[in-house]
Each structure stands twice: as structure tokens, then as C-alpha cells.
Amino acid sequence: MPEDAATAQELDAYREQTDRFLADLDEEYYLHYAGLKKTYELAPIYDRHSELTKPERARSLELAADGSAGIRELWRFACEGYLGNLTREQAERIAELQAALTATVDGREIGYRMLRSASANEPDRSRRERLDAARTALTEEHLNPLHLGAAQATHRATADLGAPNYVELYRRLGFGLDDLAGQCTALLDSTERIYEEAADRLFRARVGVGLDEAERWDVARLFRAPAWDPAFPKDMMLPALEGTLADLGIDLRAQSNVHLDIEERPQKSPRAFCAPIEVPGRVMLVIQPIGGVDDWRALFHEAGHTEHFAHTSADLAVEDKRLGDNAVTEGWAALFQHLTDEPAWLNRRLDMPRVDDFAIEAATGFLLGVRRYCAKLLYEIEFHAAPDVTAMRPRYVELLGDALKIEPSGVDYLADIDDGFYASSYLRSWAFEAQMRSFLREEFGNTWFARREAGSLLRELWSEGQRLNADELLREVAGTPVEMEAVADRIREILR
């Protein structure tokens, strides 16, 4: 069927509809997770904007893109809308089941979503193993049939978008997956020794077993480090954020487009999040402080997103404000999040003993996460090109197990996949952040985060939204593209 490229007029209409679609989705997300609305109704929003998610729409945008990175982003949005709409019912059903399923472990009934945190808070290893077995059984029986259906439907539907498979679709959408995979393989190699040594020390200190004895049910426990919680009190979170922003020349309370939602509500998500309902006009930063390392990290991460969106220029087209390379916004989020691991910042903001020990532990945990994401990307590239995804289960165990030296459960081979290769955005954001921070340190000194000039530069860069991708932005500032090995360098600097 011959199709035509979208005209300039159609493109403008498409931009306007995309902007409204995203605003509706973000508003619904905000209302539900802020505890202001019980239901989470995506179907009416998709129905209202059904024009945007037709495959012929994607095709006309593909034809119009013709080398334009911005229009290519509109094309990606149309593709993802089409695929997302096809699997929306499965996604809703999965969320319902995750909320409803329970397991009885050692006589105690525990909700599916609480099984991981129960394991993290459980000092007894054999009980952690039983919690893991319960989660595995529920996933296999109830959730994996839905995950499988969604994966197969997605793979079948990529043909409607003109691509032979999902990986090829994303290559066409400008994702440099093969180059990134090569960099991830190199990083896994170059950090193997230092990971084995550092992870072994951390497992011994926190879980009481070495890396060679550690099991997958010890990992959540490793990350739950209650010993550090007193150093990260609940009532200091907001003052620390306000003080940090003030040092950079930003008055959080005076930002009329930033809505700080700190009210306590019973149904509110305990985890901080940012909902950029209008960019830059109405950006919600939602928190319900509980304190502890994880909560601080989450708040600063979301504050990084918030300031990025709130400073984005209103004059940009929707593809440059709301779409584009998510490694950029994730990079700004990571820059703020990693302040909470930085000895100079900790000394300035908190009264904390042994900051260097904390930084080493944090870098070890981060290295584990980075290696996990490297392996995930390698796996997802294979998964999304596989003719039969059910054959991929052993490959998941092999790739993730090699990276972490801890065997994962094969049951997660379907669910441990980020839609739209979002893993590649995280990986590149960590490199972008490591390189950006090196630049800021060289330019403004070790306490760059307390310098007005650094704040001015950040505000200027944030105003670009995601018009430039992470490579272009970094090249403009520091003269270099994003390189994964920069993440390894940064971690080595702390661990050595």
C-alpha cells in the first residue's frame, strides 16, 4: 500500500496531539500515585488519542523523518504508542495481579509486591530463600503467561511498523545498540576483577557470606543497608535539597512551575517521583519522606528530572521538550542522585561518620547495578531478535549470572526487560553523568555543586530540554561523546 510522508501541517497537528496525550498520561499518573485518585485509567486516554497510535501514522512519520532527528522522535512515539496500546490490557492485568497475589511463607501471608522488600528486611538466609521460592512460583504460574503473551504480541506487531524485528526497529529509530553493546562487553571485562574483590568484601560485611557463596536472595539484603539509615534522616531531606539548589542559585519554593507535593496521604506512593504534566509549565515533584539512603537517593534523582523539565525552554517543539534521548534527563537525574554518594557533598549537608567507607560501599553497589544493566542490554538485544522467545530463558541465566557471579532465577527472563530499550538510556545516562561531573569538577572544583557558576551552566544546559542527544550535549560541553568506560573510571577512582 503506497503511503505518503506526513505534510508540514500534519506534523504540526501531530505535535499538538502528542503534547496533549503525554500531558494526559502524566496527569493520570500523578493523580493516581500521589494518592489523589484511586483508579489508574489509561484506556480512556488511549481511546481519546487513538489517532496517534495507528501504524499508518507511524509510517507517514517515518517517511517524513528523512534524517531529521526531531521527526524521528515523533515516529518513535507513534511506534511505541502502537505497541503500547496492543499490550495495554496485559499490562493492566499484570498490575492487578501483582497487587492481588499473595503467598504464605512460614505461616505469614505476604503480598506479591512485598516479597522482595520482605526479603531485603529478613536477616535469616533460609527464610529469604523461601521468600524467593514463593515469588518464583507465583511469577511462573500467574504472571509469565501474560508477559509471554505481551512479548509475542509486540514481536508480531513490529512487522506492521515495517521492521523485521524489534531490534531492527530500534536501530532504525537511531538507537546505537550495537556500539553500546560493544562498550558494555568491554566494561564487563575491564571491571571484572575489581567487581569480584569489591562485591566479595561488601557481601561479607553486609550479608555474612562471600561472593562465591552469595545467592540471588542475598542481593536485596545487600542493598538494604540499615546501618546507614540514621545518617539520612527523614526531616533533613527537603532542607538538604533546598540548600543544594540554593547553592546553585535556584530557589525551589519560588519556582512557580514546580509543584512540591509533600502532603501525607494514605494512598500516596512511598517513593518519590516527578510528573512533568506541562513542560516547563507544571512539573510535579512528589514525595512522602521516610528517610534512609534509598529514599534520599530517590528524592535527589527525581529532583534532577524536575529541574531539567522546569528549566526546559517553552519555545522548543514537543519532540525536543518531551521526547528525545532519555539518557539526557536520566543523566541530570543521576547527577543529583550521585551527590548523595559524594563525600564532599555529604560533609557539607550531613553530619555523617565514615563518609569514605560509605562512598566505597555505594560505588560497589553502583558497580553491581551497572554490570547488571550491561548484561541486561546484551540479553535484551538477543531476546528481541529471537524467533522464539521461550528459548531465551537459559541465555538470561547465563548472561546475568556471568556479570554478577550470582545466578539469577530463570523465571525473570520475560519480566526483567525494559520496554523500548530503556536500559540503553540508563547505561548512557550513567556515562553522560560521569563525564559531565568530571567536567564540572575540572571547571569548578571538587565542590562544584556549591558554585553559582556551575548552577548557571546547568540552567543553560537544561534549557535545551532533549533537543540534543547525550552525545551531542556532552560534545558541546566537554568535547567528547558518551563513553561507557568513563563509568568504570569513576568507580575505580573511588574503590582504589
| Shortest Å, Cβ 127 to Zn ion | 32
Distance CA(224)–CA(222), nearest Å, equals 6
**Span interacting with Zn ion, options 27-35, 183-191, 324-332, 351-359, rule CB under 5 A:** 324-332
Residue 6 found at the interface with Zn ion (CB under 5 A):
no
Distance CA(180)–CA(238), nearest Å, equals 37
DSSP class of residue 464 equals: T
- Identity of the residue numbered 465: G
φ and ψ at residue 277, rounded to 5 degrees: -65, -50
Q: 282-286 and 258-261 as β-strands: parallel, antiparallel, unpaired?
A: parallel
Residue 274 found at the interface with Zn ion (CB under 5 A):
no
Between 218 and 295, CB nearer to Zn ion: 295
Between 218 and 294, CB nearer to Zn ion: 294
The contact pattern for Zn ion, residues 328-347, with x = CB under 5 A and - = no contact, is: --x--x--------------
108: β partners: 105
Distance CA(381)–CA(378), nearest Å, equals 5
Residue nearest to Zn ion (CB): 333
For residue 111, give the 3-state DSSP assignment.
Answer: strand
Residue 443: which of 459, 456, 430, 431 has the closest Cα? 456
| Shortest Å, Cβ 106 to Zn ion | 36
290 within 8 A of 281, measured Cβ to Cβ: no
| Shortest Å, Cβ 23 to Zn ion | 19
Distance CA(473)–CA(458), nearest Å, equals 12
| Shortest Å, Cβ 163 to Zn ion | 27
Between 157 and 327, CB nearer to Zn ion: 327
Assigned C-alpha cell, 420: 523500548
Residue 283 found at the interface with Zn ion (CB under 5 A):
no
Residue 303 found at the interface with Zn ion (CB under 5 A):
no
Total interface residues for Zn ion by CB under 5 A: 2
Between 304 and 410, CB nearer to Zn ion: 304
Between 270 and 394, CB nearer to Zn ion: 270
Between 317 and 333, CB nearer to Zn ion: 333
| Shortest Å, Cβ 333 to Zn ion | 4
Between 135 and 376, CB nearer to Zn ion: 376
167 within 8 A of 384, measured Cβ to Cβ: yes
| Shortest Å, Cβ 11 to Zn ion | 29
Distance CA(221)–CA(203), nearest Å, equals 9
* Interacting residue ranges for Zn ion, rule: CB under 5 A: 330, 333
